[in-house]
Amino acid sequence: MTYGELAAARLLEIAEMSEAGPGVTRLPWTPEHRRALDTISAWMRDAGLDVSLDAAGTLVGRTPGMVGKPALLLGSHQDSVRSGGRFDGIMGVAVACLAVRRLREEGVRLPFAVEVLAFADEEGVRFPTALIGPRALAGRFDPAVLDMKDAQGASMRQAMQEFGLDPEGIPALVRKKDEVIGYLEAHIEQGPVLETEGRSLGVVTAICGISRYAVTFEGETGHAGTVPMAGRRDALVAASRFVAAVSEAATAIEDCRATVGQIDVKPGVVNAIPSEVSLTLELRAPSDEIRRDFRSQAMRRVQEIATQVGVAVRIEQTYEQPAVACDPGMREALSQAMTASNLPVVAMPSGATHDASAMADLCPAGMLFVRCKGGISHRPDEYADADDMDDAIRVLAEAVKSIGSQ
Residues of each annotated binding site for Zn(2+): 77, 88, 123, 187, 378
CA distances from 20 to 24, 33, 38, 86, 158 (A): 8, 14, 19, 14, 23
Mask of contacts with ligand HGY, 294-333, x by CB under 6 A?
Answer: ----------------------------------------
Q: Which 150-209 positions form the footprint of Mn ion (CB under 5 A)?
A: none
Is residue 89 exposed (0-12), middle (13-18) or buried (19+ Cβ within 10 Å)?
buried
Report the residue number, 56 or 397, with the smaller CB distance to ligand HGY: 56
Nearest to 117 by CA among 392, 356, 382: 356
Tell me, rounded to whole angstroms, the distance of Cα 35 from its chain centroid.
20
CA distances from 232 to 27, 237, 263, 304, 361 (A): 40, 10, 21, 17, 49
Is residue 144 exposed (0-12), middle (13-18) or buried (19+ Cβ within 10 Å)?
exposed
Closest distance of CB 201 from Mn ion, Å: 9
End-to-end, the C-alpha distance of the chain in Å comes to 32
Closest distance of CB 266 from Mn ion, Å: 29
Give the residue ranges of the annotated binding site for allantoate: 212, 271, 284
| 211 secondary structure, DSSP code | E
Report the distance separating Cα 368 and Cα 366, nearest Å: 7
Report the distance separating Cα 29 and Cα 133, nearest Å: 12
Chosen from Mn ion, ligand HGY, none, partner binding at 327 (C-beta under 5 to 8 Å by type): none
Instruction: Evaluate whether 370 touches 392 at the Cβ level (below 8 Å).
Output: yes
Closest distance of CB 210 from ligand HGY, Å: 7
Closest distance of CB 147 from Mn ion, Å: 24
Report the residue number, 175 or 284, with the smaller CB distance to ligand HGY: 284
Report the distance separating Cα 9 and Cα 385, nearest Å: 11
Please identify which residue in 218, 288, 385, 387 interacts with Mn ion, judged by CB under 5 A: 387
* SS3 of residue 304 by DSSP: helix
Q: Which 336-365 positions form the footprint of ligand HGY (CB under 6 A)?
A: 352-353
Q: Which 71-130 positions form the footprint of Mn ion (CB under 5 A)?
A: 88-89
Report the distance separating Cα 260 and Cα 276, nearest Å: 16
Chosen from ligand HGY, Mn ion, none, partner binding at 353 (C-beta under 5 to 8 Å by type): ligand HGY
Report the residue number, 128 or 219, with the smaller CB distance to ligand HGY: 128
Closest distance of CB 334 from ligand HGY, Å: 20
Mask of contacts with ligand HGY, 29-68, x by CB under 6 A?
Answer: ----------------------------------------
Give the residue ranges of the annotated binding site: 77, 88, 123, 187, 212, 271, 284, 378
Total number of residues shown for the chain: 406
Report the distance separating Cα 138 and Cα 58, nearest Å: 13
Closest distance of CB 187 from Mn ion, Å: 6
* SS3 of residue 168 by DSSP: helix
Chosen from ligand HGY, Mn ion, none, partner binding at 387 (C-beta under 5 to 8 Å by type): Mn ion
Number of residues that bind Mn ion (CB under 5 A): 4
Closest distance of CB 50 from ligand HGY, Å: 29
Q: Which 67-126 positions form the footprint of ligand HGY (CB under 6 A)?
A: 122-123
Report the residue number, 202 or 274, with the smaller CB distance to ligand HGY: 202
Instruction: Evaluate whether 185 touches 354 at the Cβ level (below 8 Å).
Output: yes
Report the residue number, 123 or 327, with the smaller CB distance to ligand HGY: 123
* SS3 of residue 287 by DSSP: coil
Report the residue number, 76 or 335, with the smaller CB distance to Mn ion: 76
Instruction: Evaluate whether 9 touches 97 at the Cβ level (below 8 Å).
Output: no
* Amino acid occupying residue 376: I
Closest distance of CB 104 from ligand HGY, Å: 30
Q: Is 285 in the site for ligand HGY (CB under 6 A)?
A: no
Residues linked to residue 102 through DSSP beta bridges, in sequence order: none
Using CB under 5 A, list all residues that contact Mn ion.
88-89, 387, 391
Using CB under 6 A, list all residues that contact ligand HGY.
122-123, 352-353
